[in-house]
Amino acid sequence: MPIRSRAGGVVALAAITVLTGCGSSAAPDTSVPAATGTAASSSPAADASPTSSEALAGAMTVMAPGPLKAALDKAKAAFEAANPQVTVTMNYAHIPTLLSQLSEGVSADVLLTPDEGTMKMAQGKELTTGTPEPVATNVLALVVPADNPGKVTGVADLGKKALTIAVCAAELPCGKLTDALAKKADVTIEADSLEPGGSPGVVTKVATGEVDLGVVFAPDIKTGGDKVTAIPIDAAVVTTSQVLAVELGASTDPTLAQAFLDFLTTPEGAALFTGVGFGPL
Amino acid sequence: MRIARRDSAGTRATPIVIWVLGSLGAIFLILPLLGLIVRAPWGDLGERLTRPGVGDALRLSVLCATGSTILALLLGLPLAWLLARQSLPGKPLIRAIVVVPLLLPPIVSGIGLLAALGRRGLVGGALDNWFGLRLPFSTAGVIVAVSYVALPFVVVTLEGAFASVNRQMENAAATLGASPTVVTRTVTLPLILPSLVAGTVLAWARSMGEFGATVTFAGNLPGRTQTLPLATFLALETDLEQAILLSLLLLTPTVAMLVLARGRWRGMGAT
């Protein structure tokens, strides 16, 4: 498993507080707000005596785009189960909406983005603190109606004018990745719609049978149920992006925020993402 | 109604509580608009308005709003007439169905339209097989989607107008030898004109701002189906200021139209 960068084999959730204190990349991030963070969690000796009695407590909010819901709902449940005194509230919305909320003063502790570009937007608005951590890989896939009326077999079909084709709008993370795919596969996509609803929007259109072929993030294909079929893209041309997680500057409890981030990067956390169709890191 | 008129003639003072709450209502409506105006990027207005796609989206919005208003009038006027003048079975149910497009989230309206008029839809399959007509992802599809959402404004406004026309005046004209066409043109039409203007302007204004049904039924392709609200939504992804500017660009002709109609659309509230 390629997920050994952070936790170094330590999977016991009780040890998360230790990582918060002495994890290599966590140390500089939490140095500034450490005072408030420690006060809030009332565990001043967290780094000195790492025992399970240093239980995390409090409430935190995680912001993420809708397509991450399947994985993050499980992450919330697992994190709360391991830390009974912690309540995690999930705020799922479109990234620009989340960033606007943060700019207008809405409080949250952790943000996840589907790619590097949207994370840069958050960083550009100075809403984040510390270095974003990769937690999973977003992989593109083709999606067709279950009976595949366009007889689609691969990426080359994206250039067929006779097919009704929908892809994500170019402004969206999946649209950017689709553009990269078109370049890599050297195909001009004959799109009939550049869906503002992104990857889930494309899946919905394919599920209605109005679209013969769509390009989406692979995990979203599940939302189409048995009305759609996924066609994996040839590994030689497939494009991917990293799902990133970061602590927010607005966080009122950096200790808790960091503990949640650390959990996401444990093998257990990563498995929640690969379990719903994301690629491994 | 009569009391209100006496008030405006000044025979009785308006209670202070009406002034306070009424003013709060107006402020509540004005503030968000003011917020948009304050946040708009006035500095580089010229450059932003000439960006690729902006002109196309505005042109397409005006074209589709106008087309859908015409379609809504073509279908809505006769429907309003039937509801007002004919005894139909299940009229309350029909009236309820008329306003369903106002009640549904527009995205759901779009799904309904796909289920009806899409190529695998109830009727759409036949349209495709017999006439090769495919509405989804076409400009005609935008007009159909938008007119579905705009139709209630025409029907509700006009049904009230047809019902309130004094039938004795029409009968008198007919007794004096006027043909049904002449009666309609010289008696009925002038009497319903304010409501006709109101319904038309409201339908057009609603059409200009339509997003959900359009994007669901017709998709989004610049130059073909990307109207100004869709372009605005996408601008939100990357450039909030551009999105605000586009929404003000959308509002300008619409508000101008409403003002030009001299508040006749107020009549809708009375029906």
pLDDT tens-place string over residues A85-94: 999 999 999 8
B172 touches chain A (CB under 8 A): no
Q: C-alpha A52: how far from its chain's center?
A: 29
CA-based nearest distance A201→chain B, Å: 8
> In the predicted model, what is the mean pLDDT of residues B13-29?
96
Is the CB of B136 inside 8 Å of chain A's CB atoms?
yes
Question: A144 phi and psi, to 5 degrees?
Answer: -135, 160
Q: Are B104 and B115 in contact (CB under 8 A)?
A: no
Mean pLDDT of B152-160: 96
Q: Per-residue pLDDT for A28 more than 60?
A: no
Contacts of A159 (CB under 8 A, 6+ apart): A187, A188, A189, A190
- The partner residue sitting opposite B137, judged by closest CB among A169, A192, A197, is A192
- Write phi, then psi, for A137 (nearest 5 degrees): -120, 135
* pLDDT average, residue stretch A44-58: 55
| Cβ A55 vs Cβ A83: under 8 Å | yes
The reported pLDDT for the residue numbered B68 is: 98
What sign for the dihedral angle of Cα A248, B232, B26, B203? negative
Per-residue model confidence (pLDDT) at position B12: 77
Q: Which of B114, B230, B238 sits opposite A210 (nearest CB)?
A: B114
Torsion angle of alpha carbons B48, B54, B59, B65, nearest 10°?
Answer: -100
Query: What average pLDDT does range B71-94 have in this prediction?
Result: 95
Give tens-digit pLDDT for B36-72: 999 999 999 999 999 989 999 999 999 999 999 999 9
Contact A96 B120 (CB under 8 A): no
The span from the CA of A109 to the CA of B267, in Å, is 50
Mutation target among B137, B215, B230, B232 for the A interface, most CBs of A within 10 A: B137
Residues of chain A with Cβ-Cβ distance to B115 below 8 Å are 208
CB of B53 within 8 Å of a chain A CB? The answer is no
Averaged pLDDT, A251-274: 94
What is the predicted pLDDT for the residue at B264?
58
Mean pLDDT, chain B, rounded, equals 90
* Residue with token string 């839809």: B121
Question: Which CA distances in Å does A210 have to A206, A225, B63, B143?
Answer: 6, 16, 25, 18
Report the candidate in B214, B249, B231 with the shortest Cα–Cα distance to residue B136: B214
When CB atoms are compared, the residue of A172, A195, A208 closest to B118 is A208
Euclidean distance between CA atoms A45 and A47, whole angstroms: 6
Residue A247 in 3-state DSSP? Answer: strand
pLDDT attached to residue B263: 58
Query: pLDDT tens digits for A263-278?
Result: 999 999 999 999 998 9
In this prediction, the answer to ipTM > 0.90 reads no
CA separation for the pair B167, A48 (Å, rounded): 91
d(CA B264, CA A156): 56
For residue A133, give both structure tokens. Answer: 């951590």
Does the pLDDT of residue A24 top 80, yes or no? Answer: no
Q: Which residues contact A59 (CB under 8 A, 6 or more apart)?
A: A86, A87, A88, A89
B227 with B142: CB under 8 angstroms?
yes
For B15, other C-beta atoms within 10 Å of its C-beta total 10
DSSP one-letter string for B72-129: HHHHHHHHHHHHHHS--TTHHHHHHHHTHHHHS-HHHHHHHHHHHHSTTSTTHHHHHH
Q: Compute the radius of gyration of chain A from its Cα atoms.
A: 20
Measured over the CA atoms of residue B205, residue B207, residue B213 and residue B214, the dihedral's sign is negative
The three-state secondary structure class of A65 is coil
Say if CB B251 and CB B145 are below 8 A apart. no
Give the SS3 label for residue A83: coil
| 3-class SS of residue A278 | coil
A244: its two tokens? 């990133």
Query: Can you say how many angstroms the Cα of residue B188 is from the centroid of all Cα atoms in its chain?
Result: 23
